[in-house]
Amino acid sequence: MTAIRGQFSIWALLALVVAVALPAQAGEVRVKAGPGHFSVPVTSVKEGRFQTVIKQQYDYSCGSAAIASLLTFHYEQPVGEKEVFLEMYEAGDKEEIRRAGFSLLDMKNYLKRHGVRADGFKLTLDKFAKASVPAITLIETNGYRHFVVLKGIEGDEILVGDPALGVKIYPRAEFETIWKGIIFVIRDRVKVAQSHFNEQRDWRVRQKAPFGTALTRYSLGMFTLMQPGGNEF
């Protein structure tokens, strides 16, 4: 029995190696384990970064994706980027939106139409950290202005949900060189938002290999133990 389990453990280890090496899409790796097979759900590194961020679909739609991400993952109000985009686009200055993207006013008006109060503030990162509430902010890289979600702060690191890149961790000194100092905050449901600030699942993106996302809550050990032996059915 020990030999059988050892054999399955080897196959399980190989499955994990394959899962970590996969660069493309989420799915399943089907592994032959002795007389049978089992499948291991996997998530690529790239897709792992978008588990709590909604990816923008257009070059100028970071604003609608940021709003959708904030509501869905931090306020427990699921909404798609397409839905937000269409409503904001129809209600806004279409030519200006195509030229420069959505503005904070477009976002505020969208939320207001849905009964949500929100405002922009000029804050330091220290004051923002004390509030412990996720927010939308504006960064600028290479002359390109871009809305992202501030998801957390720990020490000298800033946790960002970027609609173009997914979850990303910046050293504070680097972030302050691209940050515009404006925070767009929802005033309602503060306790709900605070419960989704600095979430550890987001900080795990610093890991080099997606061990946390390559498996479900069942460990590989569970897979190996549940496989039938040569004389079992």
pLDDT digit string (tens) for 11-35? 444 444 444 444 445 555 555 555 5
pTM of the complete model beyond 0.75: no
| Active site annotation includes 103 | no
- Nearest in space to 63 (alpha carbons), one of 95, 86, 40, 45: 86
Reported confidence tier of residue 3, pLDDT bands at 50, 70, 90: very low
Q: Where in the chain is the domain with CATH 3.90.70.10?
A: 47-206
What is the torsional sign of CA 79, 58, 107, 193? positive
Mean per-residue pLDDT over the chain, rounded: 81
Using the structure block, give the residue that is written with the tokens 């030519």: 95
Which alpha helices (DSSP H) does 122-219 contain, by range? 125-131, 172-178, 190-194, 200-203, 211-214
pLDDT tens string 51-98: 999 999 988 899 999 999 999 999 999 999 999 999 999 999 999 999
Pick the catalytic residue: 33, 54, 62, 148? 62
- Please state the φ and ψ torsions of residue 152, each to the nearest 5 degrees: 175, 165
Fold classified for 47-206: Cathepsin B; Chain A (3.90.70)
